[in-house]
Amino acid sequence: MSSALDEDTQQTIAAGRETAGAMLRAAQKDLQKVFIVFLVGFLGTFYALRLYVWEFFRGVTKAQMDASVSGNVSIIAQTPFDVILLQAKIGLVVGILFALPPFIYVSRDALKARGAWPKSPVAPWKLALIGLTMVVLFAAGVAYGYFVFFPFTFAFLAQNALSAGFTPSYSIVKWAQFIFLLTLSFGLASQLPLAMTALSYAEIVPYELFRDKWRHAVVGIFAFGALFTPPDPFTQIMWAVPVITLYAFSLYLARVVVTAKRGSEKMDIKATATHHWNLLAGVAVVGGLLVYAFYEYGGVDHVNDGLAAVGSDYVFLDPGSQLVLGAFVVAGGVVGLAFGLAYLVYRDIQRLERTEVGVGDPSKLDLSALDVAGVRAAPPEVFADRDEDEIMSLASAAIDDGDKAKAQALIDRFDEAEADREAEAADAEDEPGELEDRTTRAGGAFFSELTGGETDEDDIGGYYTDIAFIVDSVTSRAFWVVGWFMLVLASTFGWLYTGGIRDVYEDFLGRLPAAVTPEEVLNVVALHPMEALIFEVKFSTILAVLATLPLVAYFAWPALRERNIIHKRRRTVFLWTGALVGGLLGGFALGYSYVAPTVITFLVEDAIAANMIISYRITNFFWLIFFTTAGIGLLADIPILMVLLNTAGISYRMMRKRWREVTVFILAISAVFTPASITTMFMVTLPLMAAYGVGLGILFVLTVGGRRDLSPARGAAE
């Protein structure tokens, strides 16, 4: 194994092992203390979960549910060891986190000897301040999650499951994992101010990058929220808005510390506050009065009416006493004071940046702070190391601010710098040597290998240029393809989400025999809070893919025909679509009417005979229905598609030769769109491969063993 690694990697691994061993040896005499800390964290977490935390989580889960919904929500253990093992795992993780800092501290001598310890000691009060800030920010993020986000989210998810006819019986493992994942996400998101400020101050990530890429950050925040929160817009806004606000606040802090570092002698926050004390006092008074007016003049009622209008059960409560109201008023005054001071400091920063134009390193000059005259007067070094993306981002920001002249000036100065760089490169350029010739020949040889060289006309696998040409023909119409895909996806999901899944469920149960009484013996449960939504998304995606394939074929058809991969005209797409849709609908009707009810009835009656209580998971139950309905249609479509492909020019020999690639493709599709189970993946793959084998058998007969394909001869008129 070691021979497969280069020398540098082997040395790095060896150094890591040596450092770990040295840390253990250095901390050996104190390992008992470290273990005691670990044990305290482990046992404390274990018993805290057992005595307090589970009940707290249950209260958070049901906080915003009405009585009818709350009474149907239950937390269950699937195995006898679920609870104790979950408590042990969580306690183990917390214990390790508790023991890690003392372990690093007692092994500091070994780290110092290897240069892995800071050479310049940091003042203890600074470390304590950083640690306290991290804890406070993390606690604030977690508090928002538990007291605002989670109650709304769980109420929405439980109501959605019940409205679809399912029982929200959450597995304690999946329920706890969902809570801890989102808790961690809120805690880490709350660290944005500290992380961005530290990275900007240390110039690991320049402040300008955070500032210029804010649009990307907003898109990323919403994308993360779409992945880890329910798809309802209100919940996603509740996730995204606080994080975006934190990002904006973090940008402000980063700008303050970066400006203070670059010109600390010219920025005095204390002097700013002293000079504008009257303005700050007025802002604080206004903040306190706004809070007082909100509670005393009907603000609570208006907010509660608005929440009720959007379907929320959450309510703002009155303070309850004058003492609490006074505390809220004081808090409002402090917040107003903080915002007023922040504005004044921000104004001083802008003034400082304007006065420091041209001072220091020109490459560090902040172009966003300059006006059009400043951009044109800036030295050439300012643009020497800038790339096009950065300049275009600054120009776009200037256009957004309504300053088109500045945007044009930025582009003009960058073009001048680019011309100078090209001229210098041309002067320094030598004649290409033997190394370049060898590189060109090697690249050509590699491309020849990649394209497969001269290949048989029936083998399309090695034609890299053909594939690239076909892909380009489709991507040029990507707007239509993606638009149609998203339209089908959104329409299907919207139908399922607004009651379609309940209608299908009730209609299917009505097709079961009278001996199978759903109200008594058949119950479909949600073990994960988002299980119903995840199924709806996956099912909608499958339908969207199937609906998009004909459109992709329509756009790719001219390129396929030009490359002699197929020979029929593009109108054939409509014939193909009709044949495949007919096979799909016919198989679906057969499965939905006879196969699926028969299979479910057999399984239910077998369980009833064994005196069992039936509680099927949403995922397993509906995937079984899908496989025994639409799955039969898909199986019927495979031989039909193979015959159609043969009429289009893909030979029987080609399909028989490429069965391995088809198997891998089907396995990959099954892994993505079926439940996370190897058994289920193979249960899907084997019937599909059997249908592929049937298609090969049909083609063997139709093509007389591959000697005569169904496609017209090359150049034949149609």
Q: Quote the strand ranges of 545-627, DSSP E.
A: 614-617
Judge if 347 and 373 occupy the same domain: no
Least confident of 125-134, 403-412, 596-605: 125-134
Judge if 378 and 525 occupy the same domain: no
Question: What is the C-alpha separation between 562 and 577, in angstroms, rounded?
Answer: 21
Question: What is the C-alpha separation between 91 and 341, in angstroms, rounded?
Answer: 43
pLDDT tens digit string along 90-100? 889 888 888 88
Picking from 334, 355, 376, the residue at the C-terminal end of a domain is 355
Distance of CA 685 to the CA centre of its chain: 28
**pLDDT(457) > 80:** no
Instruction: Please check whether residue 368 is in contact with residue 405, taking contact to mean a CB–CB distance below 8 angstroms.
Output: no
At 435 the pLDDT is: 43
Picking from 355, 386, 412, the residue at the C-terminal end of a domain is 355
Average pLDDT over every residue of 396-413: 78
Judge if 655 and 622 occupy the same domain: yes
At 434 the pLDDT is: 46
Q: How much of the chain is helix, strand and coil, in % rounded to 5?
A: 75, 0, 20
Q: Is 381 contained in some domain?
A: yes
Task: Find all residues with CB under 8 Å of 228, minimum gap 6, and list them.
Answer: 181, 182, 185, 239
Instruction: Please check whether residue 319 is in contact with residue 296, taking contact to mean a CB–CB distance below 8 angstroms.
Output: no
Judge if 684 and 656 occupy the same domain: yes
At 456 the pLDDT is: 46
pLDDT tens digit string along 258-287? 766 655 545 566 777 777 778 888 888 888
Average confidence score pLDDT of the chain: 74
**pLDDT(26) > 60:** no
Query: Quick one: tokens of 614?
Result: 């039936």
Average pLDDT over every residue of 170-197: 83
Q: Is 161 contained in some domain?
A: no
Q: Is 503 contained in some domain?
A: yes
pLDDT tens digit string along 489-517? 888 888 887 778 888 777 777 777 766 65
Judge if 349 and 373 occupy the same domain: no
At 462 the pLDDT is: 47
Q: Is 104 contained in some domain?
A: no
Of the candidates 92, 104, 102, the one whose C-alpha atom is nearest the C-alpha of residue 44 is 92
Q: Is 292 contained in some domain?
A: yes
Judge if 418 and 494 occupy the same domain: no
Question: What is the C-alpha separation between 312 and 249, in angstroms, rounded?
Answer: 28
- Residues above pLDDT 90, as percent of the chain: 0
At 451 the pLDDT is: 42
Picking from 336, 355, 374, the residue at the C-terminal end of a domain is 355
At 432 the pLDDT is: 47
pLDDT tens digit string along 532-591? 777 888 888 888 888 888 888 888 877 777 766 666 676 776 777 788 888 888 888 888
Q: Is 373 contained in some domain?
A: yes
Q: Is 238 contained in some domain?
A: no
Judge if 388 and 534 occupy the same domain: no
pLDDT tens digit string along 67-106? 888 888 888 888 888 888 888 888 898 888 888 888 777 7
Judge if 506 and 369 occupy the same domain: no
Residue with the larger pLDDT of the pair 402 and 320? 402
pTM listed for this prediction: 0.59
Range of the domain at 393: 363-423
Average pLDDT over every residue of 368-387: 72
**pLDDT(419) > 80:** no
Judge if 333 and 375 occupy the same domain: no
Judge if 585 and 652 occupy the same domain: yes
R_g of the chain computed on alpha carbons: 33
Q: Is 692 contained in some domain?
A: yes
Of the candidates 523, 542, 546, 584, the one whose C-alpha atom is nearest the C-alpha of residue 674 is 542
Least confident of 41-45, 560-564, 694-698: 560-564
**pLDDT(476) > 60:** yes
Q: What are the residue ranges of helices labelled H in 401-463? A: 404-428, 434-451
At 450 the pLDDT is: 41
Judge if 483 and 381 occupy the same domain: no
Q: How many domains does the chain have?
A: 3
Judge if 599 and 691 occupy the same domain: yes
**pLDDT(42) > 80:** yes
Least confident of 111-125, 365-379, 420-434: 420-434
Confidence of residue 122 (pLDDT cuts 50, 70, 90): low
